[in-house]
């Protein structure tokens, strides 16, 4: 076996993955303790980009942030390990495609679907924290226009409506506005576009997402003249990757969990997964060079 | 209404005691009746708690939900006629409920951004996952203790049950965290909330159980080591994802 091949198998081995996963868990638990001691250091990560945070809060508080630097390194190694492991094993499974039913194939592929989704999620997080536009406290009153950050597009708030809850048993919720809906008009050169945004329902325009962060009036009986909505405006390429990762991971989980929890793969009679697994194991025994495990 | 929520949960916890006495005395019917009544009261308390704040989500409701879900898992194990697992999960369900009663995170106010289906799904699924993890931890700890005293090896069937509980917990945890991320994105524009006191602990638990599941693939790992890892997982779940949602010690008023 060549040196490169040996290195590839070592980097993509399950044993290495086990150590990396344990390291990641330990670092996150350490981070949880550090965050509880001084939460103020980590809250700016909601608005700052990763490298800006590392340069400022990260380097200024090494006693509380050292674990974060290590975590990035370990996650990078875990990404490499997952990529190699998934690529090698998926290729092996696809090589055996003529020996199994479609269900067995999907079941055997399901962990690798989750691994693939994990890689997409990690990439999504990285893109999310390294590039994009975050703009906070864009307080707007109806009829007033403002520029969308980082562009010539102007936006205007129109028709804001608020929804109180009619709660008979909880006095603190009575007449409280629990939802807000508004129309946002975008002026882009000669073009005008309208979108509807609401609480927990952002609107999207040209890769920008507009989120309702806060609003007034809070109660149905407040002064109706003092109407404003505070928007958070973001532009981020990481979100589509992140959503794709979520969907693919969930599909992988469902494909894996359904037969495992209904014991179909253990019986062998109702589901061919186990028989296929035996074939796969025999195949791996015949080709020990493909197996990264000792 | 707050009094009703408290009194229902308190009554449920009180009913666990005659269930324990009946279990020790070997009166199966009485034990089952008291236990079922206790679970019904804890369930009612959780339902009223959710209804009280609906459509918003009640903050710090998770310890109460976890107490309920651990009790439901115990009933499920009883239905499977797995007597040894029922003892371990039953002890856990009583202990967790009493702990929640003594250290309540009784905060009934909420904030408007919890008015989201994603928020409710996140809370319920992540509580269910934590309950499954804790049960697997209790089961493996019980098997380790019983195995040490009786000199018997841990049986394979017990390991399969523990592994299946962990797989179910891991799947629910993953999907629950995704709902949490979607809620965070819809509300704040970013899928991670660094203000959250739970985020890093939940992520740590997720990676720990990824480690546990990969351990099965690594080969040549003894059953005792797997049980130790599952027990440690239960303890970590308690420290990092259960304790942060509880409050300070407050002796319960008998009836409000």
Per the CB < 8 Å rule, is B112 touching A177? Answer: yes
Contact assignment for A42 to B194 by CB distance below 8 Å: yes
Confidence grade of residue A176 (pLDDT, cut at 50, 70, 90): confident
d(CA A128, CA A75): 16
Q: What is the pLDDT of residue A54?
A: 93
Identity of the residue in B112, B200, B205 whose CB atom sits nearest the CB atom of A31:
B200
pLDDT digits (tens, 9 = 90+) for A191-217: 999 999 999 999 999 889 999 999 988
| A219 has a pLDDT exceeding 50 | yes
* pLDDT at residue B153 in the model: 54
Which regions of chain A does DSSP assign to beta strands (E)? 133-140, 145-147, 154-164, 177-188, 191-198, 203-205, 208-216, 228-235
Q: Taking CB atoms and an 8 Å cutoff, what residues of chain B touch A134?
A: 189-190
Chain A contact set for B211 (CB, 8 A): 18, 21-22, 25
pLDDT of residue A285 exceeding 70, the answer is no
Residue-averaged pLDDT of chain A:
84
For residue B194, the chain A residues in CB contact (below 8 A) are 35, 42-46
Of A18, A165, A209, the CB nearest to B55: A165
> A21, B210: Cβ pair inside 8 Å?
yes
Q: DSSP of B193-206, one letter per residue?
A: -TT-SSHHHHHHHH
Q: Are A16 and A10 in contact (CB under 8 A)?
A: yes
Closest chain B CA to residue A28: B204
Predicted local confidence at residue A187, as pLDDT: 94
The whole-angstrom separation of Cα A7 and Cα B97 is: 51
The pLDDT assigned to A140 comes to 93
Q: pLDDT: is A154 or B1 the higher one?
A: A154
Nearest CB among B183, B187, B215 relative to A18 is that of: B215
CB A257 to CB B164 under 8 A?
no
Q: Do A21 and B168 touch (CB under 8 A)?
A: no
Entry pTM: 0.90
Q: What percent of chain A has pLDDT over 90?
A: 48
DSSP string, A122-191: HHHHHHHHHS-EEEEEEEE-TT-EEEPTTSS-EEEEEEEEEEE---SS-TTTTTBEEEEEEEEEEEETTE
| C-alpha torsion A251→A253→A259→A260, nearest 10 | 170
Q: DSSP secondary-structure letter at B152?
A: P
Residues in Cβ contact with B250 at an 8 Å cutoff, skipping those fewer than 6 apart: B102, B103, B104
Cβ distance of B167 and A43 shorter than 8 Å: no
Q: Which of B106, B173, B185, B193 has the most A C-beta neighbours within 10 Å, making it the best mutation to test the interface with A?
A: B185
DSSP bridge partners of A185: A156, A194
Burial B175-205 (b: 16+ CB within 10 A, else e): bbbbbbbbbbbbbbbbbbbbebebbbbbbbb
- A293–B240 CB contact, under 8 Å: no
For a pLDDT cut of 70, what percent of chain A falls above it? 85
Q: Token pair 């194990």 is at which residue? A: B77
* Neighbouring C-alpha atoms within 13 Å toward the C-beta of A93: 21
Give the closest residue to A250 by CA, choosing from A238, A260, A258: A258
> How many residues are given for chain B?
256
Structure tokens at B213: 């599941």
* For B197, nearest residue in chain A (alpha carbons): A36
Q: Which residues of chain B have pLDDT under 70?
A: 106-108, 148-157, 254-256
Q: Which two tokens stand for residue A34?
A: 């550090």
Tell me the β-bridge partners of A216. Answer: A228
Q: How far apart are CA B168 and CA B173, in angstroms?
A: 8
Burial class (CB in 10 A: 0-12, 13-18, 19+), A168: exposed
Q: Answer whether residue A235 shows pLDDT above 80.
A: yes
A178–B118: do the CB atoms touch at under 8 Å? no
pLDDT of residue B84: 79
Mean pLDDT confidence for A216-241: 84
At residue A29, φ and ψ (nearest 5 deg) are: -65, -40
Report d(CA B242, CA B237) in Å as an integer: 7
pLDDT at A7: 85
CB atoms under 10 Å from CB of A259, counted, come to 21
The ipTM estimated for the assembled molecules is 0.93
Helix ranges (H only) for B62-116 are 62-79, 83-102
More confident residue, A282 or A250: A250
> Nearest-CA neighbor of B213 among B133, B130, B156, B146?
B133
* Neighboring chain A residues of B217 at a CB cutoff of 8 Å: 14
CB A85 within 8 A of CB A13: yes
Q: Searching chain B, which residue's CA lies closest to the CA of residue A45?
A: B194
Give the model's pLDDT for residue A289.
40
Say how far apart CA B195 and CA B55 lie, in whole Å.
23
Q: Give the pLDDT of residue A264.
A: 54
Residue A292 has pLDDT above 70, yes or no: no
Among A35, A179, A257, select the one facing B200 at the smallest CB separation. A35
Q: Tell me if A22 and B211 make a contact (CB, 8 A cut-off).
A: yes
């Amino acid at each position: 076996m060549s040196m490169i091949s040996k290195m590839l198998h070592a980097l993509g081995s399950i044993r290495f993955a086990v150590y990396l996963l344990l390291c990641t868990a330990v670092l996150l638990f350490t981070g949880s303790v550090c965050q509880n001691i001084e939460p103020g250091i980590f809250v700016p990560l909601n608005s700052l980009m990763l490298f800006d945070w590392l340069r400022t809060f990260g380097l200024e508080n090494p006693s509380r942030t050292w674990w974060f630097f290590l975590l990035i390194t370990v996650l990078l190694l875990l990404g490499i390990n997952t990529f190699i492991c998934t690529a090698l094993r998926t290729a092996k499974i696809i090589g055996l495609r003529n020996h199994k039913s479609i269900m067995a194939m999907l079941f055997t592929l399901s962990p690798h679907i989750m691994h693939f989704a994990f890689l997409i999620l990690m990439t999504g997080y990285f893109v999310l924290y390294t590039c994009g536009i975050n703009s906070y406290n864009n307080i707007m009153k109806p009829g007033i226009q403002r520029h969308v950050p980082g562009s010539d597009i102007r936006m205007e708030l129109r028709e804001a409506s608020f929804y109180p809850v009619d709660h008979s048993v909880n006095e603190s919720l009575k007449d409280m506005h629990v939802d807000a809906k508004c129309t946002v008009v975008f002026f882009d050169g000669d073009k005008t576009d309208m979108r509807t945004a609401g609480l927990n329902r952002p609107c999207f325009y040209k890769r920008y997402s507009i989120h309702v962060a806060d609003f007034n009036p809070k109660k149905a009986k407040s002064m109706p003249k003092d109407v404003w909505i505070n928007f958070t405006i973001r532009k981020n390429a990481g979100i589509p990757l992140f959503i794709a990762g979520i969907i693919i991971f969930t599909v992988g989980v469902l494909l894996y969990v359904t037969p495992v929890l209904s014991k179909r793969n253990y019986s062998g009679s109702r589901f061919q997964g186990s028989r296929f697994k035996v074939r796969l194991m025999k195949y791996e025994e015949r080709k020990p060079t493909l197996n990264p495990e000792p | 209404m707050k009094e009703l929520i408290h009194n229902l949960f308190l009554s449920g916890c009180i009913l666990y005691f005659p269930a324990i006495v009946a279990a020790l005395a070997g009166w199966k019917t009485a034990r089952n009746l008291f236990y079922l009544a206790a679970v019904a009261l804890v369930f009612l308390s959780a339902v009223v708690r959710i209804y009280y704040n609906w459509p918003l989500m009640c903050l710090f409701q998770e310890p109460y939900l976890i107490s309920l879900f651990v009790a439901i898992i115990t009933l499920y194990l009883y239905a499977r006629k797995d007597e040894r697992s029922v003892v371990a999960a039953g002890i856990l369900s009583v202990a967790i409920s009493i702990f929640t009663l003594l250290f309540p995170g009784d905060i009934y106010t909420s904030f408007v951004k919890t008015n989201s289906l994603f928020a409710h799904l996140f809370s319920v699924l992540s509580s269910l996952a934590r309950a499954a993890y804790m049960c697997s931890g209790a089961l493996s700890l019980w098997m380790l203790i019983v195995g040490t005293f009786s000199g018997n090896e841990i049986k394979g069937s017990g390991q399969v049950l523990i592994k299946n509980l962990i797989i179910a917990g891991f799947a629910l945890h993953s999907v629950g965290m995704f709902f949490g991320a979607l809620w965070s994105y819809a509300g704040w524009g970013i899928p991670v909330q660094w203000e959250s006191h739970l985020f890093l602990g939940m992520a740590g638990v997720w990676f720990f159980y990824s480690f546990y599941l990969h351990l099965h693939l690594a080969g040549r790992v003894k059953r005792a080591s797997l049980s130790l890892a599952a027990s440690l997982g239960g303890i970590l779940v308690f420290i990092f994802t259960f304790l942060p949602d509880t409050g300070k010690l407050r002796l319960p008023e008998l009836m409000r």
